[in-house]
């Protein structure tokens, strides 16, 4: 791949589709901005992931692109393509591997098109990189494109930008739920975008009770609106009374809450990576997914817990009803990590 010239440019970053994956792109975005400090940088991202990047000071513009929404139809894609053509971008980094996005970039007249040579789309790219022979962590997967383009890809820590307004909103949410700014609390984040990634509700309940009894902390359950049934199951199984902010926070308020916590315990999920980005202590529970590919990354105070039960990992079978890999992690395993690392000491 030819190194792109470090001149003023109008750059588009075509991002990816999931919360965690968008966080994985943050070191890449930093690399582009540091290479082109005076350039105009826009990022095309699905509406559901927009909040991850809304406060990112390295980006000039966020452009919604959602193939499950307005851009699902051919008319929607054409409308989006015409917008890009009108905006006159001269360089695009295609972090998403789809053929459609490469075709849109080509049709929009973007002269320099950089991406992985996947899905037989190489003929649409001006600068293409072969996929690595083995799977690497998603952060490095994206940074390799920056590296191949001649950018400095040495910084690999997540970035998630929180404003003072976000922090004030988070404090108001906590206060309304009876958690003061001086309270020690542990946040547990039980959700996940598919069931096999979730630790059992009964295990979360037992852990929460033991943390209250051993360390005298409050327990705060976090999650999206869709996680309320799971949260209710945990609360029902507990002997002590936790606090729930499930469905009551946006992602940036959630990050602000994590920032104030003593510890976050979570499965493999977008919120877990947000927690890591704040520097809080994190215990990450992994089962069917691989920490080497989608685990916490870069600097941070985190520990991954995973048990080898003989299954092939990663396993992307959302229909698996066994969940042995997550059940294999015991409450005592988590408590041992917390004590060993001194997270609540």
pLDDT at res. 64: 94
What phi and psi, each to the nearest 5 degrees, are found at residue 337? -65, -45
Compute the distance between CA of residue 99 and CA of residue 74 in angstroms, rounded to an integer: 14
Average pLDDT across the chain, whole number: 93
Which band of pLDDT confidence, cut at 50, 70 and 90, is reported for residue 112?
A: very high
70 has a pLDDT exceeding 90: no
pLDDT at res. 142: 97
- As beta bridge partners, residue 92 has 12, 113
Identify which of 320, 50, 66 has the alpha carbon closest to the alpha carbon of residue 194.
320
State the average pLDDT over residues 211-237.
Answer: 96
Which band of pLDDT confidence, cut at 50, 70 and 90, is reported for residue 299?
A: confident
Q: Where are the beta strands (DSSP E) in 95-208?
A: 112-116, 127-129, 185-189
State the average pLDDT over residues 18-22.
Answer: 92
pLDDT at res. 69: 83
- The tens digit of pLDDT for each residue in 252-274 reads 999 999 999 999 999 999 999 99
**Angle between the 164-176 and 251-260 helix axes, to the nearest 10 degrees?**
80
- The tens digit of pLDDT for each residue in 228-248 reads 999 999 999 999 999 999 999
Which band of pLDDT confidence, cut at 50, 70 and 90, is reported for residue 120?
A: confident
Residue ranges per structural domain of the chain: 10-148, 164-341
Which band of pLDDT confidence, cut at 50, 70 and 90, is reported for residue 122?
A: very high
Identify which of 33, 34, 35 has the alpha carbon closest to the alpha carbon of residue 43.
33
Which band of pLDDT confidence, cut at 50, 70 and 90, is reported for residue 334?
A: very high
- DSSP label at residue 97: -
Which band of pLDDT confidence, cut at 50, 70 and 90, is reported for residue 134?
A: confident
State the average pLDDT over residues 81-93.
Answer: 96
**Angle between the 331-341 and 201-215 helix axes, to the nearest 10 degrees?**
40
φ/ψ region of 3 (left if φ > 0, alpha if ψ in -120 to 50, else beta) reads beta
Identify which of 233, 236, 239, 231 has the alpha carbon closest to the alpha carbon of residue 187.
231
276 vs 322: which has the higher pLDDT: 276
Compute the distance between CA of residue 311 and CA of residue 307 in angstroms, rounded to an integer: 10
What's this model's pTM, rounded to 2 decimal places? Answer: 0.93
- Region 164-341: CATH code: 3.40.50.2000
- The tens digit of pLDDT for each residue in 146-188 reads 999 999 999 999 999 999 999 999 999 999 999 987 899 999 9
**Class of the domain covering 10-148:** alpha beta
Mind spelling out the 3-state secondary structure of 208-267? HHHHHHHHCCEEEECCCHHHHHHHHHHHHHCCCCCEECCCCCCHHHHHHHHHHCCEEEEE
Determine the distance from the C-alpha atom of residue 234 to the mean position of all C-alpha atoms in its chain, rounded to a whole number.
Answer: 24
Query: What's the token pair of residue 253?
Result: 């308020």
Matching CATH topology for 10-148 and 164-341? yes
CA-based end-to-end distance of the chain: 50
């Amino acid at each position: 791949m030819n190194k792109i010239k470090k001149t003023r440019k109008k750059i588009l970053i075509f991002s990816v589709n999931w919360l965690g994956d968008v966080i994985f792109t943050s070191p890449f975005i930093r690399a582009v901005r540091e290479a082109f400090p005076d350039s105009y940088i826009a990022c095309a991202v699905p509406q559901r992931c927009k909040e991850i990047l809304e406060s990112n000071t390295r980006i000039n513009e966020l452009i919604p692109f959602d193939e499950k929404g307005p851009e699902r139809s051919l008319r929607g894609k054409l409308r989006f393509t015409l917008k890009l053509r009108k905006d006159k971008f001269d360089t695009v980094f295609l972090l998403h591997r789809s053929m459609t996005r490469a075709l849109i970039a080509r049709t929009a007249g973007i002269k320099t098109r950089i991406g992985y040579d996947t899905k037989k789309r190489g003929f649409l790219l001006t600068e293409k990189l072969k996929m690595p022979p083995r799977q690497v962590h998603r952060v490095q997967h994206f940074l390799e494109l920056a590296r191949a383009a001649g950018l400095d890809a040495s910084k690999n820590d997540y970035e998630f930008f929180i404003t003072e307004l976000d922090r004030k909103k988070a404090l108001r949410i906590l206060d309304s739920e009876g958690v003061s700014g001086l309270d020690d609390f542990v946040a547990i984040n039980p959700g996940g975008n598919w069931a096999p990634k979730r630790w059992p509700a009964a295990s979360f309940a037992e852990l929460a009770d033991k943390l209250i009894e051993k360390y005298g902390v409050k327990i705060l359950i976090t999650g999206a609106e869709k996680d309320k049934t799971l949260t209710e199951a945990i609360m029902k199984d507990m002997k002590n009374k936790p606090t729930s902010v499930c469905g009551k926070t946006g992602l940036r308020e959630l990050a602000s809450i994590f920032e104030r916590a003593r510890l976050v315990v979570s499965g493999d999920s977008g919120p877990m990576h947000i927690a890591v980005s704040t520097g809080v202590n994190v215990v990450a529970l992994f089962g069917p997914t691989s920490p080497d590919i989608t685990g916490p990354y870069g600097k941070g105070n985190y520990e991954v817990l995973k048990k080898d039960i003989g299954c092939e990992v990663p396993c992307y079978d959302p229909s698996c009803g066994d969940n042995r890999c997550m059940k294999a992690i015991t409450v005592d395993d988590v408590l041992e990590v917390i004590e060993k690392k001194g997270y609540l000491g």
